[in-house]
């Protein structure tokens, strides 16, 4: 058996972008496009959080660079986000910037702990209809975020947006060597600058930073009082950030047909936020819009694109600040509209799909979308959507619990066969399915085709036995499987407070 040569082994462990120049080119150009798209959004999120634009840009830089190394989902982009900005904005307004930075660091610690405890495993309980609602609502939110850029603006903005969209649709038919969004941004910038067209630009959003961020400790008293102030905001930020990041990772898994390490991603998000906090950033999480630009529009698949998105962001701001400031917002709006179209699951609302889909699935999707759009909070939408799905599922499964009774020929014994899954929703009506007064003295309840899942079912069976016992009749339970028998033995007679 021959062993591989050191050169062959080295070739196997080298990342794709080092082995294939085409992959390298795709990743580099994708990183550049994402960096351009991050700038106006990072500035906008800074405004939401009521901090200097540099704070949002620094956060996007450190989040992207750090997560490219420690994250669990390749090619996913993490940066400053609106959801995180909304959570921590009240803290900044009421207690100042120092408390905001401290909360970001504490949120990172919470995320590491939650990741280590296996929070990522809970993602398996998010139904597909909630995921579809999540994706569709994100597309709607990203589009809604562009609406202010198209309202009360000079008329040339509209033809520029149309031209940008046309370029992105047609250019890939000519060549896919260069990402269409990058071509669109460059062409529209050249046109507006050369023709002197007065339209809103990136520079109008705020001043770009002129130097790299420097690390430091948050300017707060290190006391339990401070901890009490920042902890609720930090925990909320940690949960919102993890939920958005894990759902986005799951979406990228589906798009790329690959698996990601959700636990590593959770811990990585925590590390990235801690680093971001020490560099004076506002924190963040995975960003769906830029991730879609990177993965779906530009075709990136490796960590290099994520790293370069952060690196290019700082280079663009510090070295090419004047040039970047001249980019018309219309060019970036066109890119984000294209992202919305690509991200939205159009199949989910096709008449053919709606006719075949169960009403419950459609309801869950619509509830998720409505909650996210109404609150602008993805976490709330996903939680409400998941709860709705659970209620619908419980109601559907509850119908499968059946009770059928048969008296033996001698008339001295009755056997009730119980079938189905017994839990709170299905077992509550069980107590009314027996003929207590007219049944013979010997009652057998056969649970061979049933499974006991919770204390509610045990309590109902106890209640049935009690009702028969009050009439001097004996009840025998048979057919319990191992789990149900153990569960019943542990709880029977212990749930009413009287023995």
pLDDT of residue 442: 94
Q: Is the pLDDT of residue 268 over 50?
A: yes
The whole-chain average pLDDT of the chain stands at 88
Residue 46 has pLDDT above 80, yes or no: yes
| Greatest mean pLDDT range, 124-128, 166-170, 266-270, 336-340 | 266-270
473 in Cβ contact with 437 (< 8 Å): no
Q: Give pLDDT, residue 253.
A: 92
pLDDT of 1: 47
Distances 358 to 36, 189, 354, 363 between C-alpha atoms, Å: 42, 48, 8, 9
pLDDT above 90 (res 345): no
pLDDT tens track for 100-122: 999 999 999 999 999 999 888 88
pLDDT for 11 equals: 55
Closest by CA position to 366, among listed 191, 156, 208, 136: 136
Q: Provide the percentage of residues in the chain whose pLDDT is more than 70.
A: 95
**Phi–psi pair at 320, nearest 5 degrees:** -110, 30
Return the closest-CA partner of residue 133 out of 477, 382, 430, 435.
382
Is pLDDT of 12 > 60? Answer: no
pLDDT digits (tens, 9 = 90+) for 155-206: 999 999 999 999 999 998 888 777 788 888 889 999 999 999 999 998 888 7
Return the structure tokens found at 354: 């709606």
Between 261 and 377, name the one with better pLDDT: 261
| Strand pairing class (402-407; 413-422) | antiparallel
Over residues 209-233, the pLDDT tens digits come to 888 888 999 999 999 999 999 999 9
Q: How far apart are CA 445 and CA 452, in angstroms?
A: 13
pLDDT band with cut points at 50, 70 and 90 for residue 498: very low
pLDDT: which is higher, 378 or 334: 334
- Arithmetic mean of pLDDT, 233-245: 89
6-15, 191-200, 285-294, 427-436: range with lowest mean pLDDT: 6-15
Give pLDDT, residue 81.
Answer: 86
Residue with the bigger pLDDT between 223 and 244: it is 223
Q: Summarize the confidence of residues 119-147 as an average pLDDT.
A: 84
Q: Using one digit for the tens of pLDDT, what is the confidence trace for 383-437?
A: 899 999 988 888 877 777 789 999 988 889 999 999 988 888 878 788 888 999 9
Q: What percent of the chain has pLDDT over 90?
A: 48
Give helix 53-70 / helix 303-318 axis angle, nearest 10°: 150
Residue 314 pLDDT > 70: yes
User: Which whole-number Å values give the CA distances from 168 to 7, 103, 173, 207, 273, in the listed order?
Assistant: 42, 40, 10, 29, 34
Residue 184 CB contacts under 8 Å (≥ 6 apart), including other chains: 164, 167, 168, 171, 331, 334, 335
Task: Give the pLDDT of residue 499.
Answer: 41
C-alpha to C-alpha distance for 120 and 109, rounded to whole angstroms: 16
pLDDT, tens digit, 9 for 90 and up, residues 480-496: 999 999 988 988 887 66
Q: What angle do CA 171, 22, 246 make, to 5 degrees?
A: 85
């Amino acid at each position: 058996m021959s062993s591989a040569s050191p050169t062959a082994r080295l070739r196997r462990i080298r990342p794709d972008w080092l082995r294939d120049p085409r992959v390298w080119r795709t990743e580099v150009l994708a990183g550049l496009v994402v960096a351009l798209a991050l700038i106006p959004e990072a500035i906008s999120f800074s405004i939401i959080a009521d901090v200097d634009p540099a704070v949002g840009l620094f956060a996007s830089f450190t989040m992207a660079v750090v997560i490219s190394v420690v994250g669990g989902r390749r090619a996913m982009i993490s940066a400053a986000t609106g959801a995180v900005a909304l959570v921590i904005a009240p803290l900044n307004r009421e207690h100042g910037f120092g408390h905001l930075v401290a909360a970001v660091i504490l949120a990172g610690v919470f995320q590491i702990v939650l990741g280590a405890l296996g929070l990522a495993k809970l993602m398996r309980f998010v139904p597909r209809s909630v995921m579809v609602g999540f994706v569709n609502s994100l597309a709607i939110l990203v589009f809604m975020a562009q609406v202010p850029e198209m309202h009360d603006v000079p008329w040339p903005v509209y033809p520029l947006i149309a031209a940008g969209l046309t370029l992105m649709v047609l250019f890939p038919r000519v060549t896919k060597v260069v990402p269409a969004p990058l071509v669109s941004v460059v062409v529209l910038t050249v046109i507006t600058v050369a023709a002197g067209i007065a339209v809103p630009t990136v520079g109008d959003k705020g001043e770009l930073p002129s130097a790299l961020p420097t690390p430091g400790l948050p300017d707060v008293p290190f006391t339990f009082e401070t901890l009490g102030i920042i902890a609720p905001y930090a925990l909320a930020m940690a949960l919102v950030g993890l939920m958005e990041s894990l759902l986005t990772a799951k979406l990228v898994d589906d798009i790329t047909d690959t698996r990601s390490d959700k636990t590593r991603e959770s811990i990585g998000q925590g590390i990235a936020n801690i680093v971001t906090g020490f560099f004076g950033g506002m924190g963040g999480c995975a960003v769906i819009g830029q991730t879609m630009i990177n993965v779906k529009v530009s075709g990136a698949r490796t960590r290099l694109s994520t790293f370069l998105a952060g690196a290019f962001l700082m280079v663009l701001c510090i070295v090419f600040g004047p040039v970047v400031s001249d980019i018309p917002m219309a060019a970036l709006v066109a890119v984000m509209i294209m992202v919305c179209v690509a991200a939205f699951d159009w199949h989910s609302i096709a008449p053919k799909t709606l006719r075949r889909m169960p009403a419950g699935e459609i309801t869950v999707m619509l509830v998720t979308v409505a909650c996210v759009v109404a609150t602008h909070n993805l976490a709330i939408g996903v939680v409400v959507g998941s709860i709705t799905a659970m209620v619908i599922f419980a109601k559907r499964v509850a119908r499968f619990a059946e009770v059928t009774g048969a008296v033996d020929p001698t008339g001295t014994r009755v056997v009730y066969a119980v079938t189905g899954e017994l839990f709170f929703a299905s077992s509550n009506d069980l107590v009314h399915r027996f003929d207590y007064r007219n049944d013979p003295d010997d009652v057998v309840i056969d649970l061979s085709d049933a499974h006991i899942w919770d204390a509610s079912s045990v309590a109902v069976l106890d209640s049935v036995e009690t009702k028969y016992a009050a009439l001097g009749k004996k009840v025998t339970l048979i057919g319990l499987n191992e789990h149900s028998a153990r569960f019943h033995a542990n709880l029977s007679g212990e749930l009413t407070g009287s023995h």
